[in-house]
Amino acid sequence: MLGLSIPAMAKSVSKKSESSSLVKHNPIIVCSRGEKWGKKVLKPGWSILKKNGSLLDAVERSANVTELDPEDGSVGFGGLPNENCVVQLDASIMYGPTHNCGSVAAIEGIKTPSSVARLVMERTDHIHIVGKGAQNFAKAHGFKVENLLTERSRKSWLRWKENLSDKDDWFPPTDGNYDSERSTGTINVLAIDSAGDIAGITTTSGMAWKIPGRIGDSPIIGAGLYLDNEVGAVGATGRGEEILRTCGSFFVVEQMRAGKSPQEACEALCERIIYINGGRDKVNFNDKIIAVNKNGDVGCASILGGKGREPKLAYWSNKGFKVLKGTYIIEN
Q: Residues in the site for ligand ASP, rule: CB under 6 A? A: 74, 184-186, 204, 206-207, 216-218, 224, 237-240
CB atoms closer than 10 angstroms to residue 318: 12
186 is catalytic: yes
Nearest residue to 67 via CA among 199, 198, 205, 166: 205
Measured from the CB of residue 84, what is the shortest distance to ligand ASP in angstroms? 16
Nearest residue (CB) to ligand ASP, 67 versus 197:
67
Buried b (16+ CB within 10 A) or exposed e, 8-21: eeebeeeeebeebe
- How would you class 232 by CB atoms within 10 Å of its CB: exposed for 0-12, middle for 13-18, buried for 19 or more? buried
Separation of alpha carbons 146 and 136, rounded Å: 13
Q: Are 118 and 138 in contact (CB under 8 A)?
A: no
Could you give the C-alpha distances from 169 to 163, 164, 181, 208, in angstroms and in order? 11, 10, 22, 22
**Residues with Cβ < 8 Å from 50, sequence gap 6 or more?**
27, 318
Separation of alpha carbons 124 and 248, rounded Å: 26
Beginning with the edge strand found earlier in the chain, give each strand of the sheet holding 320-325 in spatial order: 128-130, 100-107, 89-95, 198-204, 187-192, 28-31, 312-317, 320-325
Rg (Cα) of the chain, in Å, rounded? 19
Q: Are 287 and 243 in contact (CB under 8 A)?
A: yes
98, 186, 203, 237: which is the annotated catalytic residue? 186
Element (H, E) at 236: strand 232-238
Q: Are 231 and 256 in contact (CB under 8 A)?
A: yes
Nearest residue (CB) to ligand ASP, 76 versus 224:
224
Active site amino acids = 186
